Amino acid sequence: MLFQFIRSQVDNVMSGVGQQQQIVSGVLDTIKGYVPKVQGSWIGGDADEFASDVARKIVPAMLELIAAIAGINLNLTKATGIIDQADNQCTQQAQSLGDLFGGI
C-alpha cells in the first residue's frame, strides 16, 4: 500500500523522465541538423572530419543516453507492476484470513 500512496509521485517522475528523453532526442536532432550546415559553409577535410566525428562519437553517445533514460522508465514500470502484484496477493491473503476467522 505504500507504493499506492506515492504512485502519483512515481507517475510524476516517470513523466519527467519521459520529458528528459524527448529533450535529449531534440538535442540530437538539432546536432544532426548542424552537420549539413557546417559542411555547406566549411570546405575541406576538416568539414568531413567534423561530420565523421559527429557520426562516430556524438550520435552513438546521445543514443546511449536516450536508451539509458528510457531504461529508467522501463524499470519504474516493472517495479510498479511488481508492487501491484504484491498488493493484490496481500489483499487476497488478508481476505482469505478474514474468511477463515469469520468461519470460526
Average pLDDT score over residue span 75-96: 88
Through-space distance between the first and last CA atoms of the chain, rounded to whole angstroms? 28
Q: Which three cell numbers stand for residue 51?
A: 561530420
Task: Note the pLDDT tens digit of each residue in 31-44.
Answer: 999 899 888 888 88
What separation in angstroms does the CA of 7 have from each of 1, 4, 13, 77, 90? Answer: 10, 5, 10, 11, 18
Closest CA to 59 of 88, 87, 27: 27
Mean model confidence pLDDT for the chain: 88
Lowest mean pLDDT across 16-20, 44-48, 58-62, 89-93? 44-48
Instruction: Give residue 42's pLDDT.
Output: 84
Q: Which pTM does this prediction carry?
A: 0.72
Could you count the other beta carbons within 10 Å of the beta carbon of residue 9?
Answer: 9
- Percentage above 70 pLDDT, the chain: 95
